[in-house]
């Protein structure tokens, strides 16, 4: 679920995976891994929320909700 949110927001903002990676301070393969839910953006979550114009804590909440499923 969180991967879809990241991708949807990134596309809506017309950002490439590389653009988002630069904004957050990671490499493109990390963004790909987040979008495919290979691992969670725990250490970069605040920067990711800022880059995607997501309210602080919203993405964290989605990730936690995923863990309960």
Residue 42's SS3 state is coil
pLDDT class for 67, splitting at 50, 70, 90? low
- pLDDT tens, position by position, 42-63: 899 999 999 999 998 988 888 7
pLDDT class for 1, splitting at 50, 70, 90? confident
> Has domain 2-67 been given CATH number 3.90.550.10?
no
In this prediction, residue 42 carries a pLDDT of: 85
- pLDDT tens, position by position, 16-40: 999 999 999 999 999 999 999 999 8
User: Domain boundaries in the chain?
Assistant: 2-67
Residue 1, token pair as written in the block = 């679920």
Q: Distance between CA atoms of 21 and 28, rounded to whole angstroms?
A: 5
Helices (H), the chain: 2-12, 17-24, 28-35, 45-51, 58-67
């Amino acid at each position: 679920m969180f991967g879809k949110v990241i991708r949807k927001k990134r596309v809506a903002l017309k950002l490439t995976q590389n653009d988002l990676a630069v904004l957050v301070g990671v490499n493109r393969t990390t963004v790909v891994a987040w979008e495919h839910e290979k691992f969670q953006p725990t250490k970069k979550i605040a920067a990711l929320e800022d880059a995607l114009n997501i309210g602080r804590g919203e993405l964290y909440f989605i990730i936690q909700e995923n863990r309960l499923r």
